[in-house]
Each structure stands twice: as structure tokens, then as C-alpha cells.
Structure 1
Amino acid sequence: MNQTIHPLNPIAFSFGPIEVHWYGVIIGFGLALGLFLAIREGDRRSLPKDTFADLMLWAIPISIISARIYYVLFEWPYYSQHPSQIIAIWEGGIAIHGALIGAVITTYVFAKKRKLSFWKIADIAAPSIILGQAIGRWGNFMNQEAHGGPVSRAFLEHLHLPKFIINQMYINGIYYHPTFLYESIWDFLGFILLMLLRRVNIRRGEMFLSYVIWYSVGRFYIEGLRTDSLMLGSLRMAQVISLVLVIGCLAVLIFRRKYHLSDERYLDI
């Protein structure tokens, strides 16, 4: 039976010699949906019109570049020998932590120049970001990447997964952990949590900090199952970054409360 299993076609459609991959379609859909939700919520929270549309014009390209730089730095032994491949982003090789670093820096500078609250923008964007991540992981699914170590078909069937997911996890004669799915589910749950926190009217800044903590906790554990981790010696870099982010965000949260830097609430205008 295994010999009859074929992976899903990663090509969504073609225009002559130009091929459009499902990865790009799915990532684009996640970005568009996230932007739509952020714009709508920004209007409710009285942000200037087109704030998020203008921000994305800068944040998207900078995030892609920073995601690539992050990946290349931790794969430098290879890229130092193949410098022409550094810009070959179309062949794969970006890291979400690099993208988030670029996005946060861009948002901070953007907020300063527009004389807006960074924390207000970040709070509004947080649910959109994690929803985009949840959707984007299905791009990895189509590419049969970001998976975990080997497992049996019986293991996957025991998880009551749809057959199309089980079959897509059959790669070169071996079944693998669908870690893309684990993270997607974790991120969808995080999205629901953040939407509920909006109703609680938590302190300004704590929506974004909650997002980072939630995502980092899940990523720390899921990363331990993956086979494609960026390494720093014997350490998985994503786990190191996740641990640092959890501790750092908790410290920032406590500091801002202690010195009354977060007395404003999410629903405040």
C-alpha cells in the first residue's frame, strides 16, 4: 500500500513557465486574513486609517529579509562556501523568529515616527500574527517540511488524523511526526485565547506579551520533535530563543506593572 502513496502537488497553478506554489498561496492567505482583522480592530480602537496597511508595506519585506538573514547566520558553514545561494530564498530557508524580530523592530520605528503607541499597535496585531502562523504552517504541510522524527502509520492513525494528512507525512518511505499540525493547532488555540483576552480588557501591552509567551511555550516543546532545527552547537536555537522570550516577556510584564507603565487598558481609546 505504501508504494501507491503520492504526495500532494505543491504547485497550485501555472502561468506558462511560471509556477505558483501552494506554500505562497497559503502564506499569502494568512497574511491577508491577518491584515483584514487588524485593520478592522484598528478602526474600532481609533487608530488612524490605513495604519496597518502602511505598516505592512514596510513590515512584510523587512520581515522576509530578516527571516532569511537569521536562517543564513545559523547555516553559515554552508553559505560561507556557497555565497551565491544566500539570496536564493525561493529555494527555501527562512526562520519565523527572524521574521518576528524584523517585524517588531519595524513596528517600533513605525510607531515612533507616526507618534503612536507601539504597545497599542502590537496588541491589536497579536491575534492576527498568531492566526497567520497557524495558517502558514499548512504551507509547510504542502511542502512536506517542518516535520518531526519517524513514526509508524499506526501511530498517526491512532491520532485520528484524516487520511490525506497521514499520507502526506509519508516521505521517502518513512512516516513522520506532523509537527506542522501540532504547531498549527497550538497557534489556533492561542488565537482563541487572545480573542477572549480582548473581552477581559487586559492591560495595554499584555496582549502582545501573552502572544509571545503562548507561542514560545508551544514552540519550545514542538521544536524538540523536529528534525530540521537550526543549531547553536548542541542546542536547538528555536528552543533557546523561546526560553529567552518567555523569561523576558514575564520580566517586562512584571516591570511594567510594578512601575505603573501598563495602567491603560486594551479597550481604552
Structure 2
Amino acid sequence: MFPASIPSPPVEFSKFSIGPLTIHAYALCILVGIVLALWLTSRRMRARGGDSDQLWDIVIWAIPFGIVGGRLYHVLITDPGYYFGLGGRQSHWAEIPQLWLGGLGIMGAISLGIVGAWIGCRRTGVRLSAFIDAVAPGVLLAQAAGRWGNWFNQELFGAPTTLPWGLQIDPEHYNFPAGLPADTLFHPTFLYESLWNVLGVVVLLALDKKFKLRRGAMFCCYVIWYGIGRTFTESLRLDPAEIITIGPLSLRIHQWLAIGLVIFGSLALSYVLAKLRPEGKDSLFAEGREPAAVQASASAEKHKSPGVEKKSSSDDESQPLA
């Protein structure tokens, strides 16, 4: 029936129990993504003179804020009618805090996560612009892992397709579109976005290595990259979403927001490169908030230079006596 296709996991694979505890595969994918993001960000912060303690002091604020932001985006933007009983539908207020049922929006997670990161950066003395640049590739890597949760849940897939990498969906699953043949294959939008995000990690790291992007430029590139990919995948998805018409275009609300990300990221990047790019290397830390070890190293370099100049001057003066 499926000569060439991507199978979906059995429904029972979407969650399992350990004693009284129920573990959802979607949550595990998000957890794996967070671990990968922390690993990559830790490496990037150490390369800039930071350490893992500062990273933890920031993410302990950023992650909870991000989770709340992701949930609020899902509730308020993705499906407000379901939760608040709009349009004559039954309300489900009690499900709003039940994260284990699924429903997080990455755009909301990033937006409110930055607020949490700002609080953490203020407490640790790390520049927010330096932190979001350090974390940007890690966030893309986390998103790449998190998208596999949609595969386990058999959700957020795309339109029917005859391509050899079409995705199988259990015809008995509640997400299977009504009226379609049981052997219908669908675009694996989770896979498209996951691969796009992995490619984005490679591109961002290459750009940073070649051009030494600083002061928010890396994060702007992340916003642009993600917005482009999300605009494409949203054009394929079948899940219900509000359609907004602006001029001749009628697009899903998430698609409009993704286009907005591309525009915002492009304008911000232009401003950063034109107005804010500094001469020399950016410090990870705000002025006067550097750790003692960093201050000691900078002081040693400062006192070393005059000595070198003095020696050079002395050598020049001794040459006529030879």
C-alpha cells in the first residue's frame, strides 16, 4: 500500500508510563532539544570567556519564561476558540496549564524567553546581545529536535503528496483528515523544518566563523533563517489556523507572523551592521561586570604592553653605541 513513504510511529509510542508517571514522546523531544542547545551554547560562551555557571544562571530564567511564552502563543494565537469557547464552542479553560497535552508555539517561546534571558543577563553581568548571539545556533538545534515530537504525535503534517518521502498517518488517528483515502500520504513538514533548522545551524556557525558577527547580528540571522523556513512549511500545513487577508493575499496567521520575522530580522540586521558594529572584539560581559579572572587577564595584557614598548625603545637607543 505504501511502496515508498515515511511511516509514523504507532499511537502507543507517543507516550509511555513509568509507575504512576506518564512520559510523552513530545516532551522528550523538547528535552533533548534543550540539552543540545545548552551543550552548543556552553561551548560558544566558553569561547568568549564565559563559563557554564553563567549559562545556567541565565537559562534558569529563560527556559521557564520560554515555556510560558510558548504556551500563551498556542492558547492565544493558534487555537483561542478551543480554550475560551469562541464561536459557540465548548471552552477548555482547565487545559490551559496542562502542557503535557501538547501545544507550544516557538514564536511565543522565543519572545518571552528573551525576557527571561534579559533578567538572567542583568543578574550575571552578561550582555544580552552577546548571549542571544551565543544561543541562536543552539535554539535552531533545539527546534530541529523538538519538531520530531510532531512525528510521534502524528500532527501538523502537510497537504497530500505523491512524493516518495510522503508521510503515512494512521487513518484511525483523530488527526487524519476526513474524506481522504486511507492510503493518502502527506508532506512531512516536521522533517522539512527539522532539516532546515539543522542546515541553519551549519550556516550560522559558518557565518560567525568567517565574518565574526557581533552585537546581535547572529540572532538577526537566526530570525531571518527561521522565518523563511516557517513561511514555507506553513504554506503546506493542513491543521486549522486563522486565515488573514491582507490585500490580495490570504494566508495563515502563522505564515504572516513568519513573514514578519523575516522583515523584522532583515531591518534589525541592517541597523546592526550599519550602526552598531564595533571596532575590535565584543566582550561577553557588560562593562565593569567582568569576572575577576577576565579582569586580571585584561589587566595583565594592559601592563604587558608598556614593557614591550620600553624594551623596544631601549634597544633603539643602544644601537648607536655599538
Which TM-score band applies after superposition, normalised by the shorter structure?
0.7 to 0.9
Whether 1:253 and 2:269 are equivalent positions in the alignment is yes
1:258: how far off?
A: 2.7
Residues 217 and 272 of structure 2 are in contact (CA less than 8 Å); yes or no, is this contact kept in structure 1? no
Matching residue within 233, 236, 249 for 1:222: 233
**1:219-242 Cα distance to aligned partner (Å, 9 max, x none):** 101111011254254541221111
Report the residue type matching 1:67 in the other structure: G
Matching residue within 67, 75, 79 for 2:83: 79
Q: 1:211 to 1:133 in 2, by over 3 A?
A: same
Report the residue type matching 1:256 in the other structure: V
Quick one: distance in 2 between partners of 1:104 and 1:50? 19
Report the residue type matching 1:220 in the other structure: T
1:16: how far off?
A: 2.3
Quick one: distance in 2 between partners of 1:54 and 1:32? 15
Quick one: distance in 1 between partners of 2:209 and 2:282? 8
Alignment of structure 1 residues 114-193 onto 2, 5 Å: 114-152=124-162, 155=163, 157=164, 161=165, 169-172=168-171, 173=182, 174-193=184-203
Alignment of structure 1 residues 32-111 onto 2, 5 Å: 32-74=35-77, 75-81=79-85, 82=91, 83-111=93-121
Residues 8 and 152 of structure 2 are in contact (CA less than 8 Å); yes or no, is this contact kept in structure 1? no
Whether 1:27 and 2:43 are equivalent positions in the alignment is no
Quick one: distance in 2 between partners of 1:220 and 1:266? 34
1:191: how far off?
A: 0.6
Deviates more, 1:94-103 or 1:237-246: 237-246
Alpha carbon RMSD of aligned pairs, Å? 2.3
SS at match of 1:150: coil
Whether 1:237 and 2:248 are equivalent positions in the alignment is no
**1:46-87 Cα distance to aligned partner (Å, 9 max, x none):** 125412212221211211111111111122222112222222
Residues 198 and 266 of structure 1 are in contact (CA less than 8 Å); yes or no, is this contact kept in structure 2? no
Residues 63 and 113 of structure 2 are in contact (CA less than 8 Å); yes or no, is this contact kept in structure 1? yes
SS at match of 2:17: strand
Quick one: distance in 2 between partners of 1:40 and 1:248? 28
Residues 204 and 265 of structure 1 are in contact (CA less than 8 Å); yes or no, is this contact kept in structure 2? no
Whether 1:198 and 2:202 are equivalent positions in the alignment is no
Q: Any gaps of 5 or more consecutive residues in structure 2?
A: 86-90, 172-181, 246-250, 285-322
Quick one: distance in 2 between partners of 1:79 and 1:186? 31
SS at match of 2:255: helix
Matching residue within 10, 13, 30 for 2:13: 10
Quick one: distance in 1 between partners of 2:227 and 2:215? 20
Deviates more, 1:27-36 or 1:121-130: 27-36
**1:146-187 Cα distance to aligned partner (Å, 9 max, x none):** 2111224xx2x2xxx4xxxx5x62331232110001001100
Q: Which one has the largest radius of gyration?
A: 2
SS at match of 2:237: coil
SS at match of 1:47: coil
**1:104-128 Cα distance to aligned partner (Å, 9 max, x none):** 2222232234332111101110110
1:88: how far off?
A: 2.4
Quick one: distance in 1 between partners of 2:74 and 2:281? 34
Deviates more, 1:110-119 or 1:184-193: 110-119
Q: Report how many aligned residue pairs link the two structures.
A: 255
Report the residue type matching 1:189 in the other structure: L
Aligned to 2:221: 210
Identity of aligned residues (%): 35
Quick one: distance in 1 between partners of 2:102 and 2:15? 17
